[in-house]
Amino acid sequence: MSRRIFKHQFVPVVDLTTETIDGQRHYVLEDGVTKLKSVTTILGEKTDKSALLEWRKRVGDEEANRVSTQAARRGTSVHNMAEKYLLNEDMTPIFQKEMPINIETFQKFQPVLDKHIGTILGIETPLASKVLKCAGRTDLVAEYDGVLSIIDFKTSKRLKDESHIENYFLQATVYSMMFEWTYNLSVPKIVIMIAVDDESAPQIFIKDRAFYIDKVLEIFRG
């Protein structure tokens, strides 16, 4: 497989341990005492779940659980391949262990990464903020067309309408704010890449994170 070699300039990180409390993921900070909810958990609490509940009711719990588990496993596999690729690792042994559909999904991202990603500052970077009372790991912090950005990978069975994925933009904005506060480096852009079944190229949403800051502060500090 033809590929390019990515340049790394990784920021120093402190890993965060995780703990499940009342069925929700929390991140434990270095002091061993402070425990913060994950970014996705907080956003999930603020999201209208009526459509999801209606779908679950329509297909039944067993089918809903099967689909959700399958989607989660696929997402994990694709994220893992993207991480290895961006670390310049040999993909051959990785592909030998992966399901073809997961490889096909990852390969939709490859030409976009090759063309647009510049210097990489972080991959699966742990971030936390006592101000926003949350923590998490961001997929990728790198230059995208020369601008430092938070870049997130998603998978989907169908094309996404921008109006339905505001949580994706809010999530990336939170990561950009935490990264900026931690490392004193401006991260003005957020990029969401969505690999869609039956589409040869991923959907790409590039946003100015400043547009979402007020709503992030309302949700996470309210």
Contact 219, 42 (CB under 8 A): yes
pLDDT at residue number 64: 58
- Please tell me the distance from the alpha carbon of residue 218 to that of residue 222, in angstroms, as a whole number: 5
Instruction: Give the domains, in start order, of the chain with CATH numbers.
Output: 17-221 (3.90.320)
Q: pTM above the 0.85 mark?
A: yes
pLDDT for res 58? 73
- Chain centroid to CA 148: how far? 16
Among 157, 160, 71, 144, smallest CA distance to 112 is for 144
pLDDT at 139: 97
Alpha carbons 169 and 207: distance in angstroms, whole number:
8
Confidence (pLDDT) at 204: 98
Half-sphere exposure of 10 (CA within 13 A, CB side): 11
- Cβ proximity of 133 and 105 under 8 Å: no
pLDDT given at position 116: 98
pLDDT of residue 185: 96
pLDDT value of position 2 = 65
Render each residue's pLDDT in the chain as its tens digit; 222 residues.
567 899 999 999 988 999 999 888 899 998 888 999 999 999 988 766 666 666 567 767 676 566 566 777 788 899 999 999 999 999 999 999 999 999 999 999 999 999 999 999 999 999 999 999 999 999 999 999 999 999 999 999 899 999 989 999 999 999 999 999 999 999 999 999 999 999 999 999 999 999 999 999 999 986
Q: 41 with 220: CB under 8 angstroms?
A: no
Sign of the alpha-carbon torsion through 212, 190, 120, 118 = negative
